[in-house]
Amino acid sequence: MTTRRSLLATGLAAPLLLSAGITPLRAQGASALGLVERREFAFQAYQTRGGASLPAVRTGYQTAGTLNAAGDNAVLITHFFSGNGQAFGQAAANAPPGWWDSIIGPGKPIDTGRFFVVASDSMANLNAPDRWTVTTGPASTNPSTGRPWGMGFPVVSIRDFVEVQKRLLDSLGVKKLALVAGPSMGALQAIEWAAAYPQMVERVMPVIGTGEIDAWLGGWLDLWAAPIRQDPAWRGGDYYGQGREAPLRGLTEALKLVTLHSRDRGWAAQFTRRAAEGQDPARRLQDRFALDAALETAAAARARQSDANSFLYLVRANQLFLNEYDSLDAALARSQARWLLLPSQGDRLFTADYAAELLAALRRAGRPVAEQRLTGEQGHLEGVTGIAQASEAIRGFLA
């Protein structure tokens, strides 16, 4: 049975791109869309792409605009590693606008006067402790035991995220997607959509994306996860019991790694080589530099809003990107869409090489493709903080 109910949005935790972040990702002030209602979609009996069975799946989502009678003016926005579906509008009166609010709304590049825009929370969402993020993952209750799944939750992939989104869109009456777009892990989902449902997807816009999680990137992902596994409080993923401490130390270290990896040198220059306030690293080994202290403070705060097991499951989902195809070329050969790539010039995570390889693969597949490089000092994060610089390219792509 499919159910949908409104979610009170007050207190929705602000998601941060792949990281703890140091500065806010979203502009302050009111959104042109105003308050956007958060809802829940649920369905029974899901079989993962790996062959495991889940008795039920729940996901939070939000929409803006109106679906036309043909059901073909929909836009799907897919989110990044540590994000959720609050991509546009405001969850509460005093909340900041969604992470892509600068390009989604009335009269904006993704015009809600023209398009029906949908964004949802992923499975195994990192924000599982946030009561307003709706997700099914290792922190969810296993109905057969009455306890959280923990490491008993089945492995899920980027393709599983797509399949849950497909069921949500079917329930909303969507027949065709005028656009699938998202940054980082959202770009991976957009590419999976183009391969999995080629006749349904007209345009694809991967932002700060890659066409491949190769061995090098997979190795980095494993390094992100390592501090969690090494934290004694992790207990093999069994830390949800009453009186047990969550592995916050390991999760903090993981988020520090991801934060710095997703930034560029230009961003770090603001800290210079100065010491943290009141400390002297030249005299005491335990004292910190300003950058180290800032990373620690922000990551520790973010860890308290996150679930360590979900971090591990998201790492594996990313490592399984396009794993059902023999190659990137085989996956892209299925696409019938037009493409706009928006890589970041200073990306240290999905580097310029990866963007160039995706562009070349799309050209080999004979797909219409354009590219605009994002510039700025935020590195990988330009795909969120600097997305407005691509406004005209996005308007032209959707014209």
Catalytically active residues are: 184, 347, 380
Phi and psi at residue 76, in whole multiples of 5°?
-105, 125
Closest among 40, 33, 31 to 9, alpha carbons compared: 40
10 Å CB burial of residue 325 (0-12, 13-18, 19+) is middle
How many angstroms separate the CA atoms of 28 and 10, rounded? Answer: 16
Judge residue 33's burial from the number of C-beta atoms within 10 Å of its C-beta, 0-12 exposed, 13-18 middle, 19 or more buried: buried
Helix axes 308-319 and 248-261, enclosed angle (nearest 10): 40
Interatomic CA distance for residues 385 and 317, integer angstroms: 24
Dist CA 251 CA 234 (whole Å): 9
The phi-psi region of residue 322 (left if phi > 0; otherwise alpha if psi is between -120 and 50; otherwise beta) is left
